[in-house]
Structure 1
Amino acid sequence: MQEIVEAVGTSQSNISQHLAILREKGVLLARKEANRVYYRVGDERTLQLIGMMREVFCGG
C-alpha cells in the first residue's frame, strides 16, 4: 500500500478505505501473501473503460 500512498500523495487510511470500497463493489480483487496484499482489476470491462477514457482525455 505504501507505493500507492506515495504515488497518490494521501494518507494510508484514506487509500485503505478506498481500496475496501472498490473490493466490496467487485472493482478490485485482492490476494494476500504473507504481509503483502496484491490488487488486480476484477472485471475486464473496467480496463476497457479506462482505455477509452485515456484515449478521450489524454489523446491515446
Structure 2
Amino acid sequence: MLEHEYLKLLADETRLSCTLLIFQQKKMCVCELTEALQLSQPKISRHLALLRQSGVLTTERKGQWVYYQLAIDLPLWFCDLLQQLITSDALSKSYHLDTTKLNSANVCCD
C-alpha cells in the first residue's frame, strides 16, 4: 500500500480512534471498541473491515470472539506515526477519554 493510502485510512475519526486503541492495547474485540468509543457495533465493524481489507489489521479468533491487532508487516514509519499521535497534544484529550471509557467498561469478552 502507498503512503498516502495509509493516511487516507486514518483521516476518518472512527478508524483513527480504533487504530490508536488497538495499537496501544495490542488486541481488541468489537465489543471493547464499542464501549470505548460509544459507537454502534455495525459502525465499528464496518471500519474494522476496511482496516482489515487494507492490510492494516489482522484478526484472531478465540472461541466466539474475534480480536483485531495491527498487521506485523506495517511500515515502521506508520507505527511511529501512531505512537506520535498517541502522545501528541492534538489527540490527547479524545484518546485519553477513549482509554478511560475502555478501562472502566465491563465488556462481554473479558
Settle same-fold status: TM greater than 0.5: yes
My pick for the range that moved more, 17-26 or 35-44, is 35-44
**Comparing both structures, which one devotes a greater share of its residues to helix?**
2
By relative contact order (CA 8 Å, sep 6+), the higher-ranking structure is 2
In the comparison of the two structures, how many residue pairs are matched?
Answer: 58
Structure 1, unaligned runs of 5 or more: none
**RMSD of aligned Cα (Å):** 1.8
Contact 1:30/1:40, CA 8 A, preserved across alignment: yes
Return the offset for 1:53.
Answer: 2.4
Structure 1 stretches of 4+ with a deviation exceeding 3 A read none
- Offset from partner CA, 1:1-54 (integer Å, 9 cap, x none): 111101001100000000000000011011112201111111253321111223
Structure 2, unaligned runs of 5 or more: 1-29, 91-110
In structure 1, the residue corresponding to 2:55 is in which secondary structure?
A: coil
Superposition TM-score, scaled by structure 2 size: 0.47
Q: Does 1:58 align with 2:89?
A: yes
